Chain A
Amino acid sequence: MGWAIYYAQPIFWRTIVKFSKKSLSQQTESEGMTFLYPALLVIFVITALPVIFTFVLSFADVQIFDPIPRHFVWFDNYLKFINDQTFWQSIWRTAYFTFVSVGLELVLGLAIASLINAKPFGWQFIRASLIIPWAIPTIVNGAIWRWIYNADYGALNALLYSLGLIDKYQVWLSNSFVSLNLVILADVWHSVPFIALILQAALSTIPVEVEEASMVDGANVWQRFFRIRLPLLRPAILVALVVRTVEAFRVFDIIYVITQGGPAFGTVTISYLTYLESFKYGRLGSGSALSFLISAFTLVMALVYIRILYKPETVE
């Protein structure tokens, strides 16, 4: 293909020069689009193409070692999960994980953001150190918490024991429900900074005058929070919620590191099930179907959020 580059190059550079000499008003839309083609092509190849291919795979009986759809089973890959108890259990578990972890993150994030916004002594330090948990890769974070929860050497046992809250070391990860909540705790620690920083940035744009005016009108601290701050924060909360909900619903890595889905499948979420189906059992077809089901669920949740929280600004 070297010849094509060789002959096309002069035309390419001539056009660039011609284009750059034109003033903004002389440039046409189609010329602009031409320069977008390379970027669009890259986006198509690395984003759209795999999605389309996965969609095709989800209708076929495909094994991982030969990822070419030859034998189509159409909706069988989707239907087989409808009657699968493991699937529904993992959906509920994922919903619980998402609801509790995002809920906790929002409450804690708002509290931390408000704290920083009040600019107490050392607030710059708090804001800078907030970034640390968020900057740690999830895998590393998982490994840290796996050690914290360790039954024989874990820091959690040592802490609770020295405080006198437990009389002997506990095996934290041997109970399904406890394990799920402990994974949530690890996830919250990791993700609270993200929400806190977004909300803190939004809080700092709220003019002080608005709150001062309401104080003059006699609003107490709760009224100021619920009637002024929260409504003004709504767009920022929406962004944080959508991003975190989608992330939490797809949770995989932190579970893989801390519990490997155990004990007794007690922490198997829908993404973990997709991993088992695709890579452990090698059924790429039904694994693809599962990943499309995840996409469908997250899309619905994002739409619900937008419906509830997004209100176009109108003059009342």
Chain B
Amino acid sequence: MSKFFRFTMLVVIFAMVLSACAPKADTGPKTVKVLAMQQAGATPEEMNAIVAKFNEANPTTKVEIEYVAYDALHDKITTAMAANPPTYDVVLVDDIWYAEFAKNGYLWDVTDQIDAKTKSDVFASAWDITTVNGKAYGMPWLLDEKYFFYNEAMLKEAGIAAPPTTWEELMAQSAILKEKGIVEYPIVWSWAQAEAAICDFVVLLYGNGGSFMDASGAPAFNSPEGVATLQWMVDSIDAGITNPASVTYLEEDVRNTFSQGKAAFALNWLYMYDLAAVNKDESTIVGNVKMSLIPAFEGNAAASSSINGSMGFSVIEKSPNKEAAWEYVKFLTSEAIQQEYSAHLLPIYQTNYSGDGLAKLTALNESNPVTVPAFNAQFPFSHVRPKVPYYSEGSVALQLAIQEALTKAKTPQQALDDAAAKWVELGK
């Protein structure tokens, strides 16, 4: 066979490969691919309904949405960034990832796209979520924090008049609940080896006079207050107050346990109220769920403490459809949509929390009369986790420390000191 033929064959093959790789001509509506999560906030059914509304109103754009678990979201985004163009045009970003993503150039700087009215109507603390070094990298969407839930029927049965205001009081009430055989483990937490464990730890840490970082930006979670907090977590398991399965639980496990009447107290994001207190398909304790301020430790300066778990929607810098993608983000975070779906996430617009706006918001559904006041009361006590580019790796080190102490592989002091050393190394 001639060399010419073999050469021709190779040319043909390369031509076929290249033509397969060539971009297709632009026809039909622009596709905007969105990555969201299936956990707190709006449910996938609600998110799908919003997408359908947007697609109907915008025939030139077609939004396609995908969901992953919260714990897979960060990795899914970073992996998608290696492709060109990236797999997604719009992604849901957690508060703690904005610094990392902005530093790596993943996100479109939308500072100039935001109009003055939106800028002033949305809470300043909500803008803090998506802002890095003075530039806005997305629209805040989920203004969330941890809340304290309790089963009123169980407390009444035990003869307890009011929910605890301090963690010491919670321990005392739990002892009564256990003694009377009302519930085996009075409180359930999300202390699995995941970000969820950090959230609960931070709530307790600030409620005990501690802080995550000190003023100079050095880790401070291994302070005496931090060590005492972690020791309290260990002791609460030993005392049979904390459900020992908490060490393996995420937020959804907390919701399931609490909703099935297997806990008197629980910490979770806002979405749990509607699902546990109102939704009969999801809960066996409908009507018994109440919310109150998260307790703090006795003698703490502030009466409560919580953790900010807010998230924003951002457009990818390398997306070929940035404008169309931004239109969808604006639609998703618009006041009308936020009000309509406020049962699982409260609006980011401060005008909704006073005067006529407040009256309208609380009348929208069965949950808002409880959750809106709870938000107003709890939000001033909310703390943010550090905005550092190495947060993901630092978080794994702290998760490990918490778990090492909870499983008694290390003492709280040793575990937190090791994690703090890791943070110092990462910050160099």
B78 engages A64 (CB within 8 Å): yes
| Chain B residues closer than 8 Å to A31, beta-carbon distance | 1
When the two chains form their complex, are residues A8 and B392 in contact, meaning their CB atoms are under 8 A apart?
Answer: no
User: Which residues on the A side are within 8 Å of B179 (C-beta)?
Assistant: none
The 4 residue pairs across chains A and B that have the minimum distance between CB atoms: A262-B193, A151-B245, A264-B403, A1-B15
Indicate whether A70 reaches chain B with its CB closer than 8 angstroms.
Answer: no
Chain A 38-58 near chain B by CB (<8 Å), digits 1 or 0: 100100010000000000000
Please tell me if A174 contacts chain B, counting CB pairs below 8 Å: yes
Shortest Cβ gap from A72 to chain B (Å): 19
| A38 & B1 in contact (Cβ 8 Å cutoff) | no
- Report 27 cross-chain contacts, Cβ distance below 8 Å, ordered by A residue: A2-B19, A8-B12, A11-B5, A12-B9, A28-B1, A30-B1, A34-B5, A37-B13, A45-B17, A63-B104, A65-B81, A65-B104, A65-B106, A173-B247, A174-B244, A175-B407, A260-B193, A261-B193, A262-B193, A262-B194, A262-B247, A264-B406, A275-B75, A279-B79, A280-B75, A280-B392, A280-B393
Q: Is A305 part of the contact surface with B, judged by Cβ < 8 Å?
A: no
Q: Does B337 contact A (CB under 8 A)?
A: no
Which residues of B100-120 have CB atoms within 8 Å of chain A's CB atoms?
104-106
| A residues less than 8 Å from B71 (CB atoms) | 260
What's the nearest-Cβ distance from chain A to residue B425, in Å? 12
| Chain A positions within 8 Å of B225 at CB level | none
Query: Min CB distance, B190 to chain A, in Å?
Result: 12
Contact A171 B245 (CB under 8 A): yes
CA distance A262 to B6 in the complex (A): 56
Whether the pair B406, A263 counts as a contact (CB closer than 8 A) is yes
The chain A residue with its CB closest to the CB of B6 is: A34
Quick check: A171 and B247 within 8 Å, CB to CB?
Answer: yes
Contact with B along A272-303 (1 / 0, CB 8 A): 00011001111000000000000000000000
A150 to B257, CA, bound (A): 11
Chain B proximity of A13: nearest CB distance (Å): 11
Report the nearest A residue to B404, measured CB to CB.
A264
Contacts of B8 in A (CB 8 A): 8, 11-12
Residues of A within 8 A of B (CB): 1-2, 4-5, 8-9, 11-12, 15, 28, 30-31, 34, 37-38, 41, 45, 63-67, 150-153, 171, 173-176, 259-266, 275-276, 279-282
Closest CB of chain A to B206's CB: distance in Å?
A: 24
- Residue in B9, B78, B105, B407 whose beta carbon sits within 8 Å of that of A263 in the complex: B407
Q: How far is the CB of B348 from chain A (nearest CB, A)?
A: 28
Rounded to whole angstroms, the CA-CA distance of A70 and B400 in the bound complex is 33
In the docked arrangement, what's the CA distance between A65 and B15, Å? Answer: 30
Q: Which residues of chain A are near B248, meaning CB under 8 Å? A: 151, 171, 173-174, 259, 262-263
Q: Mark B195-236, 1 if CB is under 8 A from A, else 0.
A: 000000000000000000000000000000000000000000
- Mark interface residues in B160-204 (1 if CB within 8 Å of A CB, else 0): 000000000000000000000000000000001110000000000
- CB pair A265–B193 under 8 Å, yes or no, is yes
Report the bound CA distance from A150 to B11 in whole Å: 58
Interface positions, chain B 9-63, Cβ under 8 Å from A, are 9-19
B82 at the interface (CB under 8 A from A): yes
B344 beta carbon closer than 8 Å to chain A: no
Say yes or no: B257 contacts A152, CB within 8 Å.
yes
Question: Closest CB of chain A to B121's CB: distance in Å?
Answer: 33
Q: Assuming A28-B1, A65-B82, is B104 touching A37 (CB within 8 A)?
A: no
Q: Name the residue on A nearest B395 (C-beta).
A: A280
Known: A30-B1, A280-B75, A280-B396. A263 touches B247 (CB 8 A): yes
**Is the pair B82, A15 in contact by a Cβ cutoff of 8 Å?**
no
- Besides A34-B1, A279-B78, 14 new A-B residue pairs in contact (Cβ under 8 A), listed by A number: A1-B19, A8-B9, A12-B9, A34-B6, A64-B82, A65-B78, A152-B260, A173-B247, A174-B244, A259-B248, A263-B407, A265-B400, A275-B75, A281-B393
Q: In this assembly, does B409 line the interface, its C-beta being within 8 Å of a C-beta of chain A? A: yes
Give the complex CA separation of A150 and B253 in angstroms: 10
- B262 contacts partner chain A, Cβ-Cβ < 8 Å: yes
Q: What A residues does B385 contact at CB under 8 A? A: none
Among B193, B244, B260, which residue has its beta carbon within 8 angstroms of that of A171? Answer: B244
Smallest Cβ distance from A1 to chain B, in angstroms?
4
List B residues 66-84 near A (Cβ within 8 Å): 71, 74-75, 78-79, 81-82
CB neighbours of B81 from chain A (8 A):
64-65
Q: Which residues of A have CB within 8 Å of B74?
A: 280
Q: Contact between B396 and A263 (Cβ–Cβ < 8 Å)? A: no
State how many angstroms separate the Cβ of B400 from the closest Cβ of chain A: 6
A22-B193 Cα distance, complex, nearest whole Å? 67
Which B residues are CB-close (under 8 A) to A262? Answer: 192-194, 247-248, 403
Q: Which chain B residues border A64 with CB–CB below 8 Å?
A: 78-79, 81-82
A263 — which chain B residues lie within 8 A by C-beta? Answer: 192-193, 247-248, 403, 406-407
A87 to B104, CA, bound (A): 27
Q: How far is the CB of B427 from chain A (nearest CB, A)?
A: 14
Q: How far is B11's CA from A85's CA once the two chains are assembled, in angstroms? A: 52
**Assembly CA distance A163 to B20 (angstroms):** 61
Kindly state the separation between the CA atoms of A280 and B397 in the bound complex, as whole angstroms. Answer: 12
Instruction: List the A side residues contacting B15 at CB < 8 Å.
Output: 1-2, 4-5, 8
Q: How far is the CA of A68 from the CA of B257 in the complex (A)?
A: 47
Which residues on the A side are within 8 Å of B1 (C-beta)? 15, 28, 30-31, 34
Nearest-neighbor residue (CB-CB) of B393 within chain A? A281
The interface bits of chain B over 238-266 (1 if a CB of A lies within 8 angstroms of the residue's CB, else 0) are: 00000111011000000011001010000
From B6, B10, B75, B407, contact of A279 by CB (8 A): B75
Contact with A along B283-315 (1 / 0, CB 8 A): 000000000000000000000000000000000
How far is A112 from B362 in the complex, measured between Cα atoms in Å?
A: 64
Find chain A residues with CB under 8 A from B79 CB.
64, 279
Q: How far is the CA of A152 from the CA of B256 in the complex (A)?
A: 10
Set B14, B245, B400, B404: member contacting A152, Cβ < 8 A:
B245
* CB-based contact A176/B245 at 8 Å: no
Judge whether B82 and A34 touch: CB under 8 Å: no
B192 contacts across to A, CB distance below 8 A: 260, 262-263
Indicate whether A151 sits within 8 Å of B393 (C-beta atoms), given known contacts A37-B10, A264-B403, A279-B78. no
A38 to B247, CA, bound (A): 53
User: How far, in angstroms, from A281 to B393 measured CA to CA in the complex?
Assistant: 5
Bound form: Cα–Cα A65–B104 in Å: 7
